[in-house]
Structure formats: structure tokens, C-alpha cells
Chains A and B, each alone.
Chain A
Amino acid sequence: MLEDSGFVDVQIGPAVDTFGGAIGEEKARSFEVYGYAFLARKPG
């Protein structure tokens, strides 16, 4: 989707256990939900 919008050089950081220990942890675990950092550049 980022590339579809015209972005290039897309990078994705390592997974972070965003919900570990929170009330939403069980639901997050059931769908293997983690946080990620994304980096992309507009050409030019």
C-alpha cells in the first residue's frame, strides 16, 4: 500500500510486544499482533 501511494525505500523495524501485560494482550496474541516502525520516502 505504501508503494501504491508513491513511496519508495520502505523499511520495517523489528516487532515490538506492544500489548504484552495489557488487558488487550489475549486478543493481540490470538492474531499475533505486534507493533512495528515503518520508514518510507517520497521520491524527489
Chain B
Amino acid sequence: MVKVVVSGTRPQIVYGESKLDGGRIMNNDLLVDPEVLREQVREKYRDVALEPNGTHHFHTGRPLATRLGYDQVVVDALPDRAVESFAGVGNPFSLRNLVPSEKVVDIGSGAGFDSFIAADQVTATGRVVGIDMTPEMLAKSRETAQILGLAYVEFLEGLAEAIPVADDWADAVISNGVINLCADKQAVFTEIHRVLKPGGTLQFADIANGRPVPLEAMRDVDLWTG
């Protein structure tokens, strides 16, 4: 299901079909109940964590990483458990590589794939903090970090709308296919802005649609993850 829309030929994050009222849909006009949506997302990604090679409506794992243009050498060096549950929609590193020593927050880090790519770029002089709300994903990412001996990578339970990181901490925030699954996108971007240092970068991947989605469909929470 698509929540990011296109205006003209240039994709923009503009929240829903707000043309109906000529303005943005505000926080009290969310299209779906955030907690109901979160539970559906947890259920979906619990499956991806536990059965990465199961039947999903999106690609996963190494074939997806190749499709999205990730550095093959870096991906090949990762163990299967670090890659198999990857379910991103683009490449957050395609417009900018991270820099050694940078402190990075990965919003919706899942089983940790993008966090491990980030770790390779920032090196051991940097820090990577992955945030996720699905217990099975957190368990998998933490164990993988331990196996890889990446002491400068950690994974915390949290929400994109309430990131457990101090103000102005991060040099960069990354995310991949997660913000479209959040009911209150404005709250997410405000929170990302809070944790970024002045001059810090937000680099993320997400989906956008070229045709408008009917409002009734956007209010159907089952379609957001289906």
C-alpha cells in the first residue's frame, strides 16, 4: 500500500490525498489508527524475520540487494542471517555514502542489513544505532551484530515517532521502506529532525506512487501492508 504520493513527475512525501481539502492532513486526521497499523506491521515483519524465504509480496534478501544496487562486494561479505530478511524498497546509500566516524541512526532497522552496510562505511570509529519495534527483528539483528563482533553497532526497541536517541546526536539518519508504514509521517520527520545534528543528513529510501490512491483505500489499514 502506498502512502507516499507523486505530484507531477517529481515524487514528494506529501501525505495522502490532501487535495481534498487543499492542504496537508494533520495529525488529528490520520488515515488509519497508528497502533492498529503498527501491530499489522509487526505481524508482517515477524514473518520476514522468522521465515525470510517464505511467501511475501515483496522481494527479500540477496536478490533484492542486487536489484536495488547495493555494493555487491560488501553484501557478499555479510553472512546470510544479515541479508536474508532484508526487505527494503531502495538504496539509502545511492545518493550519499556515509563517512568514517559518523554517528548513524537506522529507523526501522529490521534484521540489521542497512545498519551493517552503514557499519562498513562509518568504520569502528563511528556508531550505528538501529531502531525497530518488532521483537523478532531486534533479536535477530542483535545476535548478528554479536556474531560479527560489531561493538559499535547496537539495536534498540523504539518507534519512528519516538526515537530513543538524544537531541542533535546523529550525523546521519537512514531508513528503508519504513516511513511509508507509519501513520503519522510528519511526526516521523519531526523526530528525525530532532535527533540529527545541525548540518546532519537524512538519507532514506521509500516508495512513491504515480497514480493517486483512492481515499477509501488509504483508510483501509489492511492495504497498508498488503
Residues on A facing B (Cβ under 8 Å): 1-2, 4-7, 11-13, 15-24, 27, 30-44
Contacts and interface: CB of A to CB of B under 8 A. Distances in A.
Contacts of B58: 18-19, 22-24
Interface in B1-31: 2, 6, 10-15, 24
Contacts of A18: 58-59, 67-68, 89-90, 207
B140 interface: no
Nearest to B210: A32
A41 B199 contact: yes
B146 interface: no
B198 A44 contact: yes
Contacts of A23: 55-58
Interface in B182-226: 185-186, 189-190, 192-193, 196-213, 226
A30 B211 CA distance: 8
Interface residues of B, number: 51
B85 interface: no
19 contacts: A1-B13, A5-B186, A5-B189, A12-B10, A16-B89, A17-B67, A18-B58, A23-B57, A32-B6, A33-B210, A35-B88, A35-B205, A35-B207, A36-B205, A38-B95, A39-B203, A42-B202, A44-B199, A44-B200
Main secondary structure of the interface of A (DSSP, over half): loop
Interface of B: 2, 6, 10-15, 24, 55-59, 67-69, 88-92, 94-96, 177, 185-186, 189-190, 192-193, 196-213, 226
B185 A36 contact: no
Contacts of B203: 37-40
Given A32-B210, A36-B90, A37-B94, A7 B2 contact: no
Contacts of A6: 193
A1 B186 contact: yes
Contacts of B206: 35-36, 38
B203 to A, nearest CB: 5
A34 B190 CA distance: 25
Contacts of A22: 56-59
Given A16-B67, A43-B198, 17 more contacts: A1-B12, A1-B13, A5-B189, A5-B192, A13-B91, A22-B58, A23-B57, A24-B57, A27-B57, A35-B205, A35-B207, A36-B206, A37-B205, A38-B95, A39-B201, A39-B203, A41-B199
